[in-house]
Structure 1
């Protein structure tokens, strides 16, 4: 979707030197949308620059906003466990979010997650594009509807294409699945167990695709 001429994005802030340290430093002061004014800090991506796998979520949560690191809260712990079960090492995976600031509303003393809107996602997309160009992963895994639609278009439906290998110029292997937070919100323990197993199976598709592509017996 084309953006309006007066619509702000982070594009002017992206440095010419697109190394991960340079990008992270530049993004620290990003105010391309209004979310940065309320967030504690920018939560940029994290992981090795030569990671074979890049995971993209929606946005940082409360724990991530306070720590400055992506996927360190309850959803991040579930992600770590699922990656390990699927044969992927979190330490060798690059993790980031479509939106780099925590969007929230106050309910009493708690800060409750709010879904970012289309303008906020578009404003932040240059950071994702720069991360993708810097890392050049063999596999791109989109976690949840916001991440998938921000990358593949608003018509994309995770429920229809979950766990499928998707043709895309962005990476040799592209797959969309649930965000781990959706598993935590499942209505009962059996539903959580079932969705967790499916999530691990989806990540396993990536593991096998990497091996088939020639990644060797021990994928990242």
Structure 2
């Protein structure tokens, strides 16, 4: 039997509420020296899978879209190989502004701290409440901290989890694969791909049967 599609139609009104939430968050501003813009999440409401990353990078800050830099390209490849259409997922970040250190003309990524994550957590929680995904995939330690509210080890929790009342799936951030030594990169990517496939299977299993009302 064919599997149900991953995308669901959004009820009226919630898209407007999400836009208002993003406007309020952007007006509040960054938690540090100004980046170019707040980078909002993108994707359909009621997407069974929401993927949370750490923060926008340099490319995301320039374009105003999540996951369009090197890590985003790797994520796109993995999603395609896992049988997941990016357009059917909701993609966002725990931290909404690019945190960086200026070195000449280059902006070097600076990892957000616990205070940065806490500053944006209200926004992420409200965003997920409006999007209402069936399962949230945390990409990396910062996303896991944002969803759980406390520092947890990916190595201990990797896989399906329930975090703060939400069905989740814990995995690594694609940037960690790019940083892996050449000898380890293929294995790290294979593990990440297996995680995405497992998260997809769980999200489809959560959906009602085709034709159900």
Shorter-chain TM-score range: 0.7 to 0.9
Between the aligned partners of 1:178 and 1:57, the Cα distance in structure 2 is 9
Q: What is the aligned length? A: 197
In the alignment, which residue of structure 1 is the partner of 2:160? 165
Alpha carbons of 1:84 and 1:170: their partners in 2 closer, same or farther (altered >3 Å)? farther
Between the aligned partners of 1:40 and 1:210, the Cα distance in structure 2 is 35
In the TM superposition, what is the alpha-carbon distance from 1:105 to its structure 2 partner? Answer: 0.4
Task: Provide the secondary structure at the position in 1 that maps to 2:200.
Answer: helix
Equivalent pair of 2:147/2:163 in contact (CA under 8 Å)? no
Between the aligned partners of 2:36 and 2:137, the Cα distance in structure 1 is 27
In the alignment, which residue of structure 2 is the partner of 1:194? 187
Q: Structure 2: where are the runs of 5+ without partners?
A: 1-14
Q: What is the aligned-residue RMSD (CA, Å)?
A: 2.0
Q: TM-score, normalised by structure 2?
A: 0.86
Q: Structure 1: where are the runs of 5+ without partners?
A: 1-16
Between the aligned partners of 1:160 and 1:200, the Cα distance in structure 2 is 18
Q: Given the alignment of the two structures, is residue 174 of structure 1 paired with residue 168 of structure 2, yes or no?
A: yes
Task: Provide the secondary structure at the position in 2 that maps to 1:142.
Answer: strand
Q: Deviations over 1:21-73 (max 9, x none)?
A: 21222222222x533x4200001111111211111111000000111111000
Alpha carbons of 1:170 and 1:93: their partners in 2 closer, same or farther (altered >3 Å)? farther
In the alignment, which residue of structure 1 is the partner of 2:59? 63
Between the aligned partners of 2:209 and 2:202, the Cα distance in structure 1 is 11
Q: Given the alignment of the two structures, is residue 51 of structure 1 paired with residue 77 of structure 2, yes or no?
A: no
In the TM superposition, what is the alpha-carbon distance from 1:211 to its structure 2 partner? Answer: 2.9
In the alignment, which residue of structure 1 is the partner of 2:11? none
Equivalent pair of 1:18/1:130 in contact (CA under 8 Å)? no
Task: Provide the secondary structure at the position in 1 that maps to 2:108.
Answer: strand
Task: Provide the secondary structure at the position in 1 that maps to 2:137.
Answer: strand
Task: Provide the secondary structure at the position in 2 that maps to 1:42.
Answer: coil
In the TM superposition, what is the alpha-carbon distance from 1:137 to its structure 2 partner? Answer: 0.4
Alpha carbons of 1:160 and 1:202: their partners in 2 closer, same or farther (altered >3 Å)? same
Q: TM-score, normalised by structure 1?
A: 0.83
Between the aligned partners of 2:64 and 2:207, the Cα distance in structure 1 is 35
